[in-house]
A = this chain, B = another copy of it.
Amino acid sequence: MHGDLPGSPTTWQAIRDVMMRRIRTRAYTPGSLIPNEAELAAEFGCARATVNRALQDLAASGFLDRRRKAGTRVMEAPRRKATLDIPLIRNEVEARGQDYEYRPLLREIAPPPGPVAARLHLSGGETMLHVQSLHLADGAPHMFEDRWIVVDTVPAITGADLTRLSPNEWLVRESPYTHGTMEFQAVAAGAAAGPLACAPTDPVLSILRITWMHEAAITHVQEYFTPAFRMGLEL
Please report A residues at the B interface, Cβ cutoff 8 Å.
Answer: 23-26, 30, 62, 77-88, 91, 172-173, 176-188, 201, 203-206, 208-209, 211, 225, 227, 229-235
Contacts and interface: CB of A to CB of B under 8 A. Distances in A.
20 contacts: A23-B176, A78-B172, A80-B85, A80-B86, A81-B86, A82-B83, A179-B235, A181-B232, A181-B235, A183-B233, A184-B184, A184-B205, A184-B231, A185-B186, A185-B229, A185-B230, A186-B186, A186-B204, A186-B225, A203-B203
**When A and B form their complex, which 6 residue pairs have the shortest distance between CB atoms, in order from nearest?**
A203-B203, A186-B186, A180-B235, A186-B203, A186-B205, A184-B231
A84 B227 CA distance: 23
A177 B25 CA distance: 8
A215 to B, nearest CB: 15
B235 A26 contact: no
Contacts of A91: 77
A99 to B, nearest CB: 19
Nearest to A211: B235
Given A181-B235, A184-B205, A201-B201, A83 B81 contact: yes
A80 B84 CA distance: 8
Contacts of A229: 185
